[in-house]
Each structure stands twice: as C-alpha cells, then as structure tokens.
Amino acid sequence: MTASLAQSSPAVKTGSRAWRRFCRHRLALFGIAAIVLLVLASVVGPSLIPFDSLKIDIRHRFAPPPFEGHLFGTDQLGRDLLVRLLMAGRISLSIGFAAMIVSTAFGTLIGVAAGYYGGAVRVALMRFVDAMLCFPQIFLLLVLAAFIQPNVVTLTLVIAASSWMEVARVVEGQVRSLRERDFILAAEMLGASGRYVMFRELLPNAIGPIIVAATLTVARAILLEAYVSFLGYGIQPPMASWGNMLNNAQQYLGSAPWLAIFPGLMITLAVSSFNFVGDGLRDALDARFDLN
Amino acid sequence: MANFLFGRLLQSLVLLLIVSVIGFAVLHLAPGGPLAQFALVPGLSKEDLARMAHEMGLDRPLPVQYWEWLTRLLGGDWGHSYRDNRPVLDVIAGRLPATLELMGAAILISVLVGAWIGVMGAIRRYSTFDMLATIGAMVALSIPTFWFGLIVIYVFSVHLGWLPPGNRTTVGGDGSFLDYLHHLIAPAAVLALVEVAIWSRYMRASMLDVVNQDFIRTARAKGLPERTVLWHHALRNALLPMIALAGVEIPTLLGGALVAETVFTWPGMGRLLLDSLGYRDYPVVMGILMFSAVLALLGNLLADIFAAVADPRIRMA
C-alpha cells in the first residue's frame, strides 16, 4: 500500500523514477558495464600489452591461444590478436558513436521539421524517408561505400546516410502528437518563433524516444561497419576493425578458428550491450510501461 | 475496398517515383558517372569522351536525362552490363530464383519458429521460457549474420561434416532435389536467425494484445477449453498484424540474403551485387538497387492488400 502510494505521489521526480526503472533492468546494467569495459579496454588496453598491433612476426604465425604472452593467439602474420582486437575496438566503437551522432542529428532535424510544419512539408519529407527505407540498408550502404575512398570519416558519413531514417520516423511521430498539446499553443500565443517552438519546446519533450533510437542506432552502426569492412569496402588493412579482421579469418576457418571466433564475439558483445541498454532505456523512459 | 486499393496503389506509385529519383541520383554520384565504363579504356582522348557524353545525352539538363532514363526503365530497358553486355534485367533474372528460394526458406523457418516462440512467450508471460526467448531474441539481433554463418560452417561443415560449406549443389553431383535441399539448410537457417528473433517479438506483442480483449474473455466465459481459446480464437487474430510485417521485412531479408550468399557462395542477387561492385559494373549495381526497392514496394503493397482482405477493420479505417 505504502509502496504504491509512494510511486504515484507527484513528489517522486520523473528522472529518479526513470532511473529506478532502468536499474531494475538487469540486462541494461550489464550492457552499461560491458560498454564501459569495452571502451576502457580499447582506450587503455593497447598500451598495456607488450605487442604492437601492426608488427609482423613471421616466426609466430597462427599461434593458438594462449601462447607465450599472446593471450588470444596470433593471426596469419604473427600479429598479437588481443591488441588488434582492442585497436579494432577503437575504430569500430568510434565509428558506431560518430555515425549515431550524425544520423541522430540529421534524422531529428528532418523529423522535427516534418512534424512541426505538417502538410506538404511533412508529406514530402516522410515520403522521402519511406522511399529510402525501400532499399535494403546493406545494399545502399555497400553501393555508397564503393563510391568513396574508405576511411573512418567517410565510412561514418556513409553509415549515417543509410541509417537516419528510423530516427526521423520516431521524432516525426513524437513531434506530431506533441504539436497538438496546449503548451505548444501557449508558446505560440506568446509569440515564440517557429525555431524556438521546434528546438526549445518540442525537442526537449521528445528527447526520451530520441535517446532510445540513438542507442539502438549505435548498435546498428557497429553492425553495419562490420558488414562493409568484412565485405572489403570498409576499413582497409593493415588498420584493424572488427569487421575486416573477419574478412581474412574465413580462409583459415579450418586451421585457425580463433581468428574468426574472437572478433565476432567482440561485435556480438558490443552490439548486444547497446541493444540491452536501448531496451532498458525504452522501458525506463516510456510512460506507457507504467501500466504494466 | 476499391477506395482503399486505389489509395494504396497511388501511394506506391508516388513512392516508386521517389525511389527512382534516389536511384538516378546514386547513379550520378558514382565516380565518373555513367561514363566511368570508358575511363579505363586506353586510347580514348578527352574529345572522344566528350563526344560520347554528347551521344549518351549527358550534356543535357538533368531533369531531361532523368525523364529519358525513367521511360527507358519503365519500358524494360535497364541498360547493359559493362562486363558481358547482357541486358541488366536478364542478368538479374538469372540470379533471382536462387535468392527467392533462400528468402522463401528463411521466411518459412522464421514464421513457424518465430510465431511459435512468440505465442509460447505470450501464454507463459514472464516465465523462464519467456525471459530466455526475450534475451535470446536480443542477442540474435546483435550477432553479425556473416559471423554466424562462419561459425555454422566451422561447426557443421569443418568439424562435423554434416553440411556442405557452400554453393547451391554439389559440383559434378547428380543435381537431385535432396542434394539441393542439403545445401539450402545452412544458408537458410543463418538468414532466418534475425527474422526468427523479429517474428517472435512481434508475435508475442500481438498475442498479448489479443489475449486481453473482450472476445477472449467471452470465449473463456462460455467455457471453451483454454487450448481452443488460445490456438483458435486468439492466434487467428494475433496473426493478422503479422501479414503486414511480412511485407515490411522484405528489405531486411534481402540485405540478410546478400550476407548469407556471400558467406555460403550462394549464386543469388546479393552476390551479384557484390561482384558487380567489384567490377564497377554500375548498370547492374543500379539495376539491383532499383529492383530490390521495387520488390520491397510490391511486397508492402501485397501485404497491405492481403491484410485488408483478411481484416475488414483495416480497409474501413
């Protein structure tokens, strides 16, 4: 009885309630921990390991893990696999975050404009989003990636260009329903400009779903980077990314399976962590889940 | 119904038009544009290239070029492959059956397995099975398809020797249906992984929606056995939104097929796209891009029509 009273009392701030609900979500906490660990290991790890990620050591090729300090073994050129995995983590995680920021910013812009102006603007923008979603994301991404000189920046932009549509849809839906609320009417009657209403009134109130979509976009972007790099149109060797490490691994599948297993596990760990966090955030920030 | 059909058809045509504009833009984004095919031919002077650009109409205003390109596209002339000069539509048609078979098998697996997991999860909500299915679906959505393919090859082909590691039939084999089926299992299962996850989530949500409705309470109140209520009354209604989902999932499925085809050297449209990208065979690349979008549009349209036929509430709304 007291518990239910405490929960419904307006004294409990939305923020702390969302935080408590997020903490109940053990998978999301696991996700946060794993992401922090991955980022820390990628940033600090390579300097703690006495091997260089690019140094070729022909005498110790295909050393199975663990081998004389090579905890995860070595690859076809005798390079330490662990340090390469961590260096690859820097690249893959950076691209994931950066692509998320670019695509979320662009998608939000499109979504807010479509939702706020409505009418012809909405129809034009959202039909464009629909049309973009008709193309399989990987097809679009591969074709665009084949047109560019692949490096971290161009790859980020290309991934963002093929994954902003979901965010735009989410934001447009949110803004369209918020648009009809009284506080927007009040702001407009006070003479607020369109830009003020869009970015000071509408956007802050739609931030929950945007954060959720952004988190899931990181997961998606890491996967997409892995796909293009695996297929040879992404990060180019000798620079390591989780995707291009798997590119070579396929031909040594029978003799050196660890070359394929570890990078894939890293991708799966990173991507599922972001998906868990996104799911937890959705439960925490979406008021509808209060009913359950 | 006629109104619904007309509206939906018009919407698809508008989308098709926008899709074609995007396709045209991408074609002109290609380095060198449509002239790229001659860039590597030795002995061509700048004047030759300019003359050819003029002959191909590349010096005219873009809207005019777009219009001509679109009318040719609609007339079935999708250009010729740079590689062997065959018509693009022929090249695609040669690879399409392999991809459609792969997709069909994957859809079959995902609908059966995914729907079953979803229904069981909804019936035993918050049970151990439900929790495991929830976590499993999220992990399945996080596993890179190509890596899963590699692991399947490693376990079932390299280690156990149960399944062939690739291709559509045994080279020099008897070409029997069983041999073909044997080759289909691994790529279809790999492609289905993500779809099973998606289907089980949607099915669970849809089933939970239906189970809380009044007609289910009525069915229970009049004393029907729980099995009949769930598997007959509830499931039939919970499956309705799944028809539309099947249409929406086509682009994802096509994208997944590309990855599965690459890993398992399956001679489908996805592999063709990758090969054509490698050869800078832009007419075929463009053709596949446009074709896949049209396929997605058609799938969506058909799914919506089927859904409207099955559920009068949709076409009334």
Parse chain B into domains and list their residue ranges.
Answer: 88-316
Give the CA radius of gyration of chain A: 23
Structural domain including A92 reads 10-289
**Cα angle, residue A218 at apex, residues A83 and B28 outer, rounded to 5°:** 100
A35, pLDDT greater than 80: yes
User: Could you give the angle at which helices B177-211 and B88-109 cross, rounded to 10 degrees?
Assistant: 60
Does any domain span residue A60? yes
Give domain B88-316's CATH architecture: Orthogonal Bundle (1.10)
Partner residue opposite A227 with nearest CB, options B138, B254, B259: B259
Q: Considering only CB atoms, which chain B residues are within 8 Å of A246?
A: 144, 146-147, 150
The tens digit of pLDDT for each residue in B292-308 reads 998 889 988 888 888 88
Is A130 within 8 Å of chain B by CB? yes
Q: Tokens 């779903």 sit at which residue? A: A209
> Can you read off the two tokens belonging to residue A81?
């696999």
pLDDT at B209: 87
Is A164 within 8 Å of chain B by CB? no
**Cα angle, residue A115 at apex, residues B209 and B25 outer, rounded to 5°:** 105
Confidence of residue A44 (pLDDT cuts 50, 70, 90): confident
Separation of alpha carbons A43 and B68, rounded Å: 53
Chain B interface disruption, residue of A92, A133, A138, most B CBs within 10 A: A138
Q: Considering only CB atoms, which chain A residues are within 8 Å of B154?
A: 253-254, 257, 260
Separation of alpha carbons B5 and B307, rounded Å: 12
Chain B interface disruption, residue of A25, A122, A126, A135, most B CBs within 10 A: A135
Separation of alpha carbons A95 and A290, rounded Å: 35
Partner residue opposite B285 with nearest CB, options A133, A143, A253: A143
Q: Considering only CB atoms, which chain A residues are within 8 Å of B289?
A: 135, 139-140, 143
Residue type, B171: V
CB A158 within 8 A of CB A148: yes
Does any domain span residue A2? no
Sign of CA dihedral B82, B84, B87, B90: negative
Is B15 in Cβ contact with A219 (below 8 Å)? no
> Can you read off the two tokens belonging to residue B123?
């019936």
> Can you read off the two tokens belonging to residue B238?
């919970």
Task: Give the E-state strand segments of B80-172 in sequence order.
Answer: none
Question: Rounded to two decimals, what is the model's pTM?
Answer: 0.86
Contacts of B152 (CB under 8 A, 6+ apart): B163, B186, B189, B190
Partner residue opposite A268 with nearest CB, options B30, B142, B297: B142
The tens digit of pLDDT for each residue in B4-56 reads 888 888 888 899 899 989 888 887 777 766 666 666 666 677 777 777 777 76
The alpha-carbon gap from A88 to the nearest alpha carbon of chain B, in Å, equals: 16
Q: Considering only CB atoms, which chain A residues are within 8 Å of B262?
A: 231
B69, pLDDT greater than 50: yes
The alpha-carbon gap from A255 to the nearest alpha carbon of chain B, in Å, equals: 10
Nearest residue on chain A to B284, alpha-carbon basis = A143
Partner residue opposite A272 with nearest CB, options B138, B277, B288: B138
pLDDT at B86: 87
pLDDT at A102: 96
Residue A48 or residue B38, greater confidence? A48
Is A143 within 8 Å of chain B by CB? yes
Residue A160 or residue B314, greater confidence? A160
What is the distance of C-alpha A166 from the center of its chain? 13
Report the CATH number at residue A31. Answer: 1.10.3720.10
Q: For residues A196-219, give the mean pLDDT.
A: 88
**How does the average pLDDT of chain B come out, rounded?**
84
- Of A223, A257, A224, whose CA–CA distance to A64 is shortest? A257
Residue B317, judged by CB atoms within 10 A of its CB (0-12, 13-18, 19+), counts as exposed
**A59 in the Ramachandran plot: left (φ > 0), alpha (ψ -120 to 50) or beta?**
alpha
CB B165 within 8 A of CB B156: no
Nearest residue on chain B to A218, alpha-carbon basis = B142
Is A253 in Cβ contact with B153 (below 8 Å)? yes
> Domain tally for chain A?
1
> Can you read off the two tokens belonging to residue A149?
């000189």
